[in-house]
């Protein structure tokens, strides 16, 4: 796993000094870039992912002598695993201020005429039910703190494409989860945001049934671009709320 930062990929001057941020899907792609951006902005960060070796390596790379990053191995599709990770985060980092849910997946056999019922269930469990578990467990810990939850959805929700019906249905579901949570919890100071990235050069690209042409991929967003959007929302003053934010390649 390459955890080194790329030149020219600095996210912004936003500050999260003194904040505790949890990032799911932190072992690669958008999650990893977002975790890095949050540490650089001064936050203490909990790295949540199933792949324990990768997040341990990332925590070691980002933590430094002050231990600003903590690896929290968890399977978000299992409620008990989510509860254990959140409890561990609070013990190691303190009260939680921001949660950025970047975990998700897709499959190659995604078209309706080849999608199996088992694959459909897997996609919903991984992309939506996991987000539900995380939300329901974390909300009580965010009440009264001006807590924010940022969900990474997909531009396919805004502009349907060939990413597959299960992927699109699950990413649409994140929008309902986010906005429903906001309505129920805004009186408790909780704010939710859905970010809709367009084509981004992440490992998820490798799961496309047809490889993305190199000339198209060269114009894609980088994970650090989406991380910058997350950081912008996370660092806003409590009086400001961004319900939804699109970020797409300028030339694709």
Q: Is 1 among the domain residues?
A: no
Active-site residue, from 155, 170, 171, 224: 171
pLDDT of residue 64: 57
- 215, part of any domain: yes
Please state the φ and ψ torsions of residue 99, each to the nearest 5 degrees. Answer: -125, 130
What per-residue confidence (pLDDT) applies to 112? 95
Is the pTM value of this prediction over 0.85?
yes
Res 3: pLDDT: 47
Q: Please compute the mean of the pLDDT values over residues 141-153 and round it to a whole number.
A: 95
Tell me what pLDDT residue 130 has. Answer: 98
Residue 52 inside a domain? The answer is yes
- Compute the Cα dihedral for 150, 156, 159, 160 and give only its sign: negative
The side-by-side arrangement of strands in the sheet containing 69-73 is 69-73, 44-49, 20-24, 98-101, 148-152, 191-197, 244-247
- Is 95 tagged catalytic? no
8 occurs within a structural domain: no
Kindly list the distances between the CA atom of residue 66 and the CA atoms of 69, 147, 155, in Å, as whole numbers in the listed order.
9, 24, 37
Based on the residue annotation, tell me whether 167 is a catalytic residue of this protein: yes
Lowest-confidence segment of 53-67, 179-193, 212-226 by average pLDDT: 53-67
**pLDDT at position 199 over 50:** yes
Total number of domains in the chain: 1
- 6 belongs to a structural domain: no
Token pair 């990053």 is found at 69
- 102: containing domain: 20-247
Mean pLDDT of 4-12: 43
* pLDDT mean over 97-116: 96
Task: Look up the CATH number of the domain holding residue 228.
Answer: 3.40.50.720
Query: Residue 13's pLDDT is what?
Result: 60
**Residue 7 pLDDT more than 50?**
no
Structure tokens at 209: 């049934």
Q: Is residue 57 part of a domain?
A: yes
**Residue 195 · residue 151 · CB < 8 Å:** yes
Q: Is 179 exposed, middle or buried (0-12, 13-18, 19+ CB in 10 A)?
A: middle
Nearest CA among 43, 63, 100 for reference residue 229: 100
pLDDT for 6 equals: 40
Q: Is 56 a catalytic residue?
A: no
Pick the catalytic residue from 154, 163, 167, 170: 167
pLDDT tens track for 52-86: 899 999 999 997 545 689 999 999 999 999 999 99
Residue 108 lies in a domain: yes
Structure tokens of 194?
Answer: 């859905």
pLDDT digits 0-9 by tens, 82-95: 999 999 999 999 89
The answer to the question of residue 252 being in a domain is no
Over residues 37-50, mean pLDDT: 95
**Cα first-last separation, the chain:** 28
Q: What is the pLDDT of residues 156-171, one digit of tens each?
A: 999 999 999 999 999 9
What would the DSSP string read from start to end of 94-149?
-S--EEEE------SS-STTT--HHHHHHHHIIIIIHHHHHHHHHHHHHTTTT-EE
* Candidates 27, 28, 81, 153; catalytic one: 153
2 pLDDT above the threshold of 50 = no
In the DSSP assignment, the letter for residue 247 is E
* DSSP single-letter state for residue 151: E
């Amino acid at each position: 796993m390459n955890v080194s930062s790329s030149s020219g990929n600095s996210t912004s001057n936003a500050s999260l000094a003194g904040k505790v941020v949890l990032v799911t899907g932190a072992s690669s792609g958008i999650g990893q870039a977002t975790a890095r951006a949050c540490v650089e902005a001064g936050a203490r960060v909990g790295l949540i992912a199933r792949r324990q070796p990768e997040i341990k390596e990332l925590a070691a790379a980002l933590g430094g002598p002050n231990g600003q990053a903590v690896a929290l191995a968890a399977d978000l599709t299992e409620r008990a695993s989510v509860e254990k990770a959140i409890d561990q985060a609070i013990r190691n980092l303190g009260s939680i201020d921001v949660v950025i849910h970047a975990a998700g997946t897709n499959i190659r056999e995604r078209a309706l005429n080849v999608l199996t019922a088992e694959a459909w269930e897997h996609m919903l469990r991984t992309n939506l039910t996991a987000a539900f578990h995380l939300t329901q467990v974390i909300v009580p810990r965010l009440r009264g703190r001006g807590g924010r939850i940022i969900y990474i959805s997909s531009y396919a929700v805004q502009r349907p494409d060939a990413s597959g019906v299960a992927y699109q249905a699950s990413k649409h579901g994140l929008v309902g989860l986010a906005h429903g949570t906001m309505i129920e919890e805004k009186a408790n100071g909780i704010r939710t945001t859905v970010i809709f990235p367009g084509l981004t050069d992440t490992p998820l690209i490798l799961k496309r049934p047809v490889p993305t042409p190199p000339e198209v991929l060269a114009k894609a967003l980088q994970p650090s671009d989406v991380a910058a959007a997350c950081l912008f929302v996370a660092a806003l003053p409590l009086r400001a709320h961004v319900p939804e934010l699109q970020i797409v390649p300028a030339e694709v």
